[in-house]
Structure 1
Amino acid sequence: MEQDVERSSLSSVPKVGDVLSQEHTDPVLNAKMHLVNDAIDEIGMTMYQWKLFCLNGFGYAVDSLILLIQSIIAPQAALEFNPSFTRGMTVAAYTGMLVGAIFWGMGADIIGRKYAFNYSLFICSIFAIVAGASPNWIVLGLFVSLSAFGAGGNLVLDTAVFLEYLPSQKQWLLTLMAAWWGLGQMIVGLFAWAFLPNYSSECTTVENCTYDNNVGWRYIWYTSGALVFIMSIARITVIRLKETPKFLLGEGKDAEVVETLQSIATKYNRPCSLTLEKLEACGITGLTDSNGRRSSVAHANKRFSFAEIWAHLKGLFVTKRIGLSTCLIWFSWLLIGLAYPLYNVFLPSYLESRGAATGDSRPSTVWRNYTLSNFSSIWGPVLAGWMCQSRWFWGRRGTMIIGALITMVFFFAYTAVRTPSQNVGFTCTISFCLNIYYGTLYAYTPEVLPSAHRGTGNGIAIGLNRIMGIISAVIATVANTETAVPIYICAALYIAMAITAACFPFEPMGSRSS
């Protein structure tokens, strides 16, 4: 009798609609996932999702904020502490981000999304504040790394949590949410503009730099940490996050799935026809082995074990198309992780060696231009959000192709900069164009990953990006920064990004995430 019910329910699995519905991983789970997607679409966009858009956007802002703080304050802190390895802060930040992305990403698949969502920003804020009181370079690097560890999981969790509550017709908002990344960068630029010219201008050499005349970089940490702390409190007070229905579905907790969605529908006076009986009629989630035993598609027999980690890794390669998609996504994150920071490292020295006058070196001017560039980066994801919904631009994949290629064009054009106004104009344009690609990749990654393994796949992708950031810091230390070769290599990397995007096997436009 159970087989008859299961067989009849499986016949209702959609032929189109859900991105991974045709991958035949677990037909019962596919059927249930389709019902949950129907329920989310039926409820529609409510204030709950708009709150998540803002609160999850904080994670984007904090990730960029922490990464940029270390690059902004490192020169001033180095004058005070006189370290032997001046790029140590870059390595510390990217190492913390790397560990945080993998830890929080895998943790999200093992114990759930809401715990990392609630605690990661709080951890980041505490160590960001403490970093401002660092007595030496080593301690500063430690606190930077710990703060980055807390921030590192946000890009993994924020996209996953938002996506798993988002109606299909509003999935483009996941791309738009990357605008918060640029906002975080702009905030750091404003802090630097306010504090460094006024509180660190007298510190110009190692000999004349003291604690008293170089507190500007410490004020940046204090104010940024306080801002992140306010964000972390808002996350647990403005909205009491329930575990996402798609995570609960992988856990086999059908009753909690229905309760979560019905509670949102009731609160915002929306219809929701999903019932426990409908989910149970689909059968029991899991795969049947040759001995007739059911195994979970989401977990190993022991939750906290290497087998559990292996189960999530294996789930990212459960079919050939999913495996190909996973590899191409990870490769894309490797490419962008090397190309962007490497170009930023080499370009200033290259332009200087060619006699470019890129502007005066007064701190107020430098940080004004920095703020303008980061303000421009906010609008790249806004355009990308519109493009990825349009068939004129071939959806997500086409948006990434266009974003990568036009960024490459402006990178080449930037080598011809010779005046301050040209420098500001090209910097702002590149910030805008690059975030068309970056914002879309951030959204595309969780959209095409299986829900039960979304945190692991996303965490590894971002972790690979951080590894490339560490490598770029090492390369910048030992390589010749006045040659044009790295610029052409970076351009080639952007071409490779465009080709990789064209090879992605899944297109989420017009479909729903699984």
Structure 2
Amino acid sequence: MEKITSRLSTNMNPSSDKQSEPERHASPLGGGYPPAESSSIRMEVVDDQIFSMSDIDPILDAKMRLVNQTMDEIGWTNFHLKLFFLNGFGYAADSLILALQAVTASQAALEFSPSFAYALNVSVYTGMLVGVLFWGLGADVIGRRFAFNVSIFCSSIFAIIAGASPNWIVLATFVGLAAFFAGGNLVLDTTVFLEFLPGNKQWLITLMACWWGLAYVIVAAFCWPIFSTPSLTCAVSDGCIKKNNMGWRYVWYGNGALVLICSILRVTVIRLTETPKYLLTKNQDAAVVEVFQNLANKYQRPCSLTIEGLQSLGTIESTYGKARYGLGEFWAHIRGLFATKQLGISTIMIWASWTLIGLAYPLFYVFLPDYLATRGAQTGQSGPYYQWRNYMLSSIAGVFGPVAAGFMCNLKPLGRKYTMAIGAIVTMAFFFAYTAVRTSAENVGFSCAISFSLNIYYGTLYAYTPESLPSAHRATGNGIGVACNRVMGLVSSFVAAYGNTSSSVPIYAVVAVMLPFEPYGKRAM
């Protein structure tokens, strides 16, 4: 270990032998590594990394710190700004598919008269469950770039086709396929963005969740005028045919086309290369340096990282399975999420958080149009105009939840964990208050408040998850967490059909406070 630490210092600063003793081992990239006499690399970490891998693979740990420092040296560029917007499209695509099936299901059901009205909800969550597992593991095996470029494009195609469905079964099939690709993309957006970000901008992962809420605003903008037009919708199932019920189809066509445009922009504007941290875990040191040198040259930034500097640290061995494309690789990524006791506890608690919030979120958001219609009728403001106006307002409020979360999680007293806890507790209060709504103003106000506070929690959890997982296994761990969420989304379909959707007690607030890692002010590995 002393050898690795010494190399890390001298390779980053060739002139170190000319410096005075106190400065000899300081890296020009900042962060200062300990002298070669140090008994363990572990001594370098502890304050600037979320967790250390030095006990498991000191070479991986040392190389990852070197890459993090290079990212900090290059800093924020227009490339990162493009990633924020184009990755945000992927966030929006995921929630867009969820929202589309929710807002169109009732009109499509009037036309097709299905035996199980919540089949689309089952289909969309099944598709997202399978998709997030498939693409999550795939991103750790074959890389982030291919999945990033393909997933959202395929989702848009199937979304457009869904609008032309001739019956309920075909509609459910294409909704599920659109969800399969969109759900997988959700894992990649945070992973790709995080693996290029300098440390002082990691809070943007939380802010990026505002794109999730923006998708609901887009859907509402389509639905409000279309579903308020009698000639485009049916009021009852009798006589409801395609000709006089084109509204829900137009919503699918329009939003699918929008996602298609976004997917084309992602390929043509960003021209994404593979992420440097993925390349690093696969021992492609030359490719890592090439990515950073190209970025530095394009934006005229310094980059001190060299191939010799990385290769002299050794070869990473802890990120592979015995069979690259078999079960051995899968189990290697699972084991990597439990490499240390603390990391294992963190992984389990993250998955528990996703599971618990997975019931509350869809019971509110997926069935929000039904809530608003029911409450509107009770308060004297019934009809499509008021229903979709209120949906638009609550969706706009939801956009600002992650904005508030991005500000809160960057405050030292709060950090990520307490931001999530506050969002959960406030949401609980508004959930209970919503059951007592008696006026139209209360209906709008409380639905907006829930939308805002729930997205504080959700946006922070979306960021906390990839930040607190090791890079080599990040997409797998993130994918399983979101998959737990999708399982509960499936449960919500049956709760809505046979149970009570009125409120949920956020046990996840307690789980948030108990999470072992606090990413505030620290670097993701």
Which one of the candidate residues 68, 79, 97 is aligned to 1:48?
79
Measure the CA separation in 2 of the matches of 1:412 and 1:206: 34
2:514 is matched with which residue?
503
Measure the CA separation in 1 of the matches of 2:393 and 2:416: 27
Q: Residue 184 in 1 paired to residue 176 in 2?
A: no
Letter in 2 for 1:406: V
Pair 1:215–1:201, CA change in 2 (3 A)? closer
Q: Residue 424 in 1 paired to residue 444 in 2?
A: yes
Q: How does 1:12-161 map to 2 (within 5 A)?
A: 14-15=44-45, 16-21=47-52, 24-161=55-192
2:384 is matched with which residue?
363
Q: How does 1:90-489 map to 2 (within 5 A)?
A: 90-198=121-229, 203-286=234-317, 297-343=318-364, 357-393=378-414, 395-479=415-499, 481=500, 487=502
Indicate the larger mover: 7-16 or 423-432. 7-16
Measure the CA separation in 2 of the matches of 1:353 and 1:42: 55
Measure the CA separation in 2 of the matches of 1:20 and 1:455: 17
Measure the CA separation in 2 of the matches of 1:350 and 1:277: 61
Letter in 2 for 1:503: M
Q: Secondary structure at the match of 1:238?
A: helix
Measure the CA separation in 1 of the matches of 2:90 and 2:233: 35
Letter in 2 for 1:420: S
Alpha carbons 1:356, 1:418 under 8 Å: kept:
no
Letter in 2 for 1:342: L
Measure the CA separation in 1 of the matches of 2:400 and 2:371: 28
TM-score, reference length from structure 1: 0.92
Q: Secondary structure at the match of 1:248?
A: helix
Cα deviation per residue 1:36-70 (whole Å; 9 max; x = unaligned)?
00000000000000000000000111111100100
Letter in 1 for 2:396: F
Shift of 1:359: 4.7
Letter in 2 for 1:253: Q
Measure the CA separation in 1 of the matches of 2:376 and 2:75: 57
Alpha carbons 2:368, 2:391 under 8 Å: kept:
no
Indicate the larger mover: 167-176 or 273-282. 273-282
Cα deviation per residue 1:9-29 (whole Å; 9 max; x = unaligned)?
475562221212266221111
Measure the CA separation in 1 of the matches of 2:394 and 2:345: 36
Alpha carbons 2:354, 2:484 under 8 Å: kept:
yes
Alpha carbons 2:102, 2:366 under 8 Å: kept:
no
Shift of 1:318: 1.0
Letter in 2 for 1:511: K
Pair 1:382–1:502, CA change in 2 (3 A)? same
Shift of 1:117: 0.5
Letter in 2 for 1:502: V
Cα deviation per residue 1:451-508 (whole Å; 9 max; x = unaligned)?
00001000111111011011110122222x3xxxx656x12xx1x2111011111111
Pair 1:76–1:272, CA change in 2 (3 A)? same
Pair 1:125–1:348, CA change in 2 (3 A)? closer
Cα deviation per residue 1:380-415 (whole Å; 9 max; x = unaligned)?
10010011010132x000100111001111111112
Structure 1 residue ranges without an equivalent (≥5): 287-296
Letter in 2 for 1:318: A
Measure the CA separation in 2 of the matches of 1:350 and 1:364: 15
Cα deviation per residue 1:225-277 (whole Å; 9 max; x = unaligned)?
10000011001100111100000110001111011011100000001111112
Alpha carbons 1:6, 1:282 under 8 Å: kept:
yes
Cα deviation per residue 1:164-204 (whole Å; 9 max; x = unaligned)?
00000000000000000011110001111122222655511
Pair 1:198–1:247, CA change in 2 (3 A)? same
Letter in 1 for 2:244: N
Measure the CA separation in 1 of the matches of 2:398 and 2:369: 19
Alpha carbons 1:346, 1:487 under 8 Å: kept:
no
Structure 2 residue ranges without an equivalent (≥5): 9-39
Q: Secondary structure at the match of 2:258?
A: helix
Pair 1:90–1:406, CA change in 2 (3 A)? same
Measure the CA separation in 1 of the matches of 2:323 and 2:381: 61
TM-score, reference length from structure 2: 0.90
Shift of 1:341: 2.4
Alpha carbons 2:63, 2:313 under 8 Å: kept:
yes
Measure the CA separation in 2 of the matches of 1:153 and 1:352: 32
What is the aligned-residue RMSD (CA, Å)? 2.0
Shift of 1:347: 8.8
Letter in 1 for 2:343: I
